């Protein structure tokens, strides 16, 4: 029997304390000495070179620095990784839940031991400051701990009753080998959670991380290996999103697709996963967490200081590169001007610079993101009033920096109020009253997170009922969901609402098998019916 403490969220480090900041700087020096190495792909526990050579992962804070060179896998290698996952599944599916959970618990302990190192790689490869990186690492620990506990709970099966002399039981079994395609914005936590959940439930995985943050996936592979995960249960392929990703999602042998990313790619995956062919043997499970156009609604009697702080944290934390970010502010007309003034003042205090030096505002992920965000800023200048930011002026020249940007007087149907920008841009929209504010807040194709600031209990009650999002936050920022506390997933085109970090999540990778056993020589008890003995 596993002797593990009850689940609790990992606590973030306070980097205002010199001992924590010094330890993080020391870890950064250590990983920077490892920059530039070459990494392969992993199929069935063996490392291979990429059939298409390598690609570089660069530091978005200083683009002349190469984090590493990573194997560019081919379609054939992707298919072989999937075959290796199925080979491993034959035994892994029957490994007792306690054994599987024990491996995942050990992985959590390894992450704790390597915490500063993991943070340092993330600061370097993703451009996160110290706290954002540590929160990402802590969430990874939380996913491991929570899902391992959940696997033990599901191992007890579904509660059923016996009937008419029969003994009934329903237990959960894994579904097979699948694919986890993870994003760059939470490159450790999401990549780890999207693999650990199906694995601890008895499935096997081919992980395809973003080309922008492949180092984080290699750390996860090392952690699983050290924890004792058998070869082939976790396979890692890096490379082109189109060739490798498309191969894995369309292959008829892919049992499930666990995807976090953009709306367009998610819709494409849902479409190709639904297509059946002559080799189809099952309906592919698709678990999709997509985008958001999240609104923070500020009521007439809200605490404006708290609202402004929450808005700036949610809009510009990690440069707005969170699907949960506050990209719209819907403010009651009575407080609109004062709230805007407070938000702009707080935004302009955000210092911009290299993530390794722990600046509040770091870079966006790559040049493609810079081009997209600046394009939307150009659109915003025609749709609203630019109040602050809106340029790259005054930022370091050797990184992907954009000044935190606030637009005011934006119409609810403007493009910058409807389309996901995924950068440090937020749009202020004025509402006449609460009815108007809720109408505007619900007026997009998305439904991921929302924030609502009010001191009116009746208005809070309305928001709880009528604000249609998967994660609603009252009088606090609308980012930073905690595993086990705020299960995360959105409505409408924000995804399948699979609620990562929630009690239902492992069901995405399990199927219920009902077994009825009639004891030998027992006579059935059927209402209104009796066998006659000859």
How far apart are alpha carbons 276 and 284 in whole angstroms?
10
* Residue 238 vs residues 316, 325, 399: alpha-carbon distances, Å: 29, 28, 24
Please indicate whether residue 138 is annotated as part of the active site.
no
Token duo for residue 478: 């609308």
8 A C-beta contact, residue 287 and residue 266 = no
Q: How many CB atoms lie within 10 A of CB 534?
A: 3
How far apart are alpha carbons 356 and 82 in whole angstroms?
37
Instruction: Name beta bridge partners: 500.
Output: 488
SS3 425: strand
8 A C-beta contact, residue 400 and residue 367 = yes
8 A C-beta contact, residue 441 and residue 467 = yes
Token duo for residue 371: 């081009």
Angle, alpha carbons 253-273-233 (nearest 5°)? 40
The catalytic residue among 132, 139, 323, 420 is 323
Instruction: Name beta bridge partners: 72.
Output: none
The catalytic residue among 125, 132, 145, 289 is 289
Residue 272 burial (CB < 10 Å; 0-12/13-18/19+)?
A: middle
Token duo for residue 134: 């540590």
Nearest to 204 by CA among 222, 177, 230: 177
Q: Match 């993101």 to its residue by tokens.
A: 369
358 CB-near residues (< 8 Å, 6+ apart)? 15, 21, 24, 129, 130
Nearest to 171 by CA among 148, 201, 146: 201
> Residues 380, 382, 383, 384: is their CA dihedral positive or negative?
positive
Please indicate whether residue 289 is annotated as part of the active site.
yes
Residue 3 burial (CB < 10 Å; 0-12/13-18/19+)?
A: exposed
Active-site residue list = 289, 323
């Amino acid at each position: 029997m596993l002797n593990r403490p009850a689940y609790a969220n990992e606590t973030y480090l306070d980097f205002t304390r010199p001992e924590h900041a010094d330890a993080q700087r020391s870890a950064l020096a250590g990983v920077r000495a490892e920059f530039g190495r070459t990494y392969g792909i992993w199929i069935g526990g063996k490392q291979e070179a990429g059939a298409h050579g390598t690609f570089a992962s660069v530091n978005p804070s200083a683009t002349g620095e190469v984090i590493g060179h990573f194997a560019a896998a081919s379609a054939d290698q992707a298919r072989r990784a999937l075959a290796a996952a199925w080979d491993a599944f034959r035994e892994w599916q029957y490994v007792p839940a306690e054994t599987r959970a024990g491996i995942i618990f050990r992985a959590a302990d390894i992450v704790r031991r390597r915490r500063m190192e993991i943070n340092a790689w993330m600061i370097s490869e993703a451009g996160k400051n110290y706290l954002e990186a540590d929160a990402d690492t802590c969430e990874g620990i939380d996913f491991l701990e929570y899902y391992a506990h959940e696997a033990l709970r599901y191992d007890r099966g579904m509660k059923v009753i016996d009937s008419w002399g029969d003994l009934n039981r329903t237990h959960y079994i894994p579904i097979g080998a699948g694919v986890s395609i993870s994003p760059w914005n939470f490159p450790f936590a999401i990549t780890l959670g999207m693999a650990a959940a199906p694995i601890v439930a008895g499935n096997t995985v081919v992980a395809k991380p973003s080309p922008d943050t492949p180092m984080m996936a290699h750390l996860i592979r090392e952690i699983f290996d050290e924890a004792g995960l058998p070869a082939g249960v976790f396979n890692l392929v890096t490379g082109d999103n189109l060739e490798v990703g498309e191969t894995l999602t369309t292959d008829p042998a892919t049992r499930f697709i666990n995807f976090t990313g953009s709306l367009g790619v998610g819709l494409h995956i849902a479409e190709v996963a639904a297509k059946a062919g002559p080799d189809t043997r099952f309906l592919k499970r698709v678990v999709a967490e997509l985008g958001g156009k999240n609104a923070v609604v500020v009521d007439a009697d809200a605490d404006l200081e708290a609202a402004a702080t929450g808005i700036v944290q949610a809009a510009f934390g990690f440069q707005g590169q969170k699907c949960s970010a506050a990209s719209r502010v819907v403010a009651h007309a009575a407080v609109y001007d004062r709230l805007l003034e407070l938000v702009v003042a707080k935004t302009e205090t955000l210092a911009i610079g290299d993530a390794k030096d722990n600046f509040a505002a770091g870079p966006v992920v790559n040049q493609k993101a810079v081009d997209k965000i600046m394009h939307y800023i150009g659109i915003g200048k025609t749709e609203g009033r630019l109040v602050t930011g809106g340029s790259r002026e005054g930022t370091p020249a050797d990184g992907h920096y954009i000044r935190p940007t606030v637009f005011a007087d934006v119409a609810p149907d403007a493009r910058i109020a409807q389309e996901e920008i995924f950068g440090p841009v937020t749009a202020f929209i004025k509402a006449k009253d609460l009815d108007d504010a809720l109408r505007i807040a619900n007026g997009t194709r998305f439904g991921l997170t929302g924030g609502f600031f009010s001191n009116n209990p009746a208005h809070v009650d309305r928001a709880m009922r009528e604000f249609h999002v998967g994660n609603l936050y009252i009088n606090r920022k609308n980012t930073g969901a905690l595993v086990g506390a705020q299960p995360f997933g959105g409505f409408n085109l924000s995804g399948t609402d699979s609620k990562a970090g929630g009690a239902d999540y492992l069901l995405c990778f399990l199927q219920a098998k009902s077994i009825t056993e009639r004891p030998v020589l027992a006579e059935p008890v059927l209402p209104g019916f009796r066998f006659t003995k000859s």
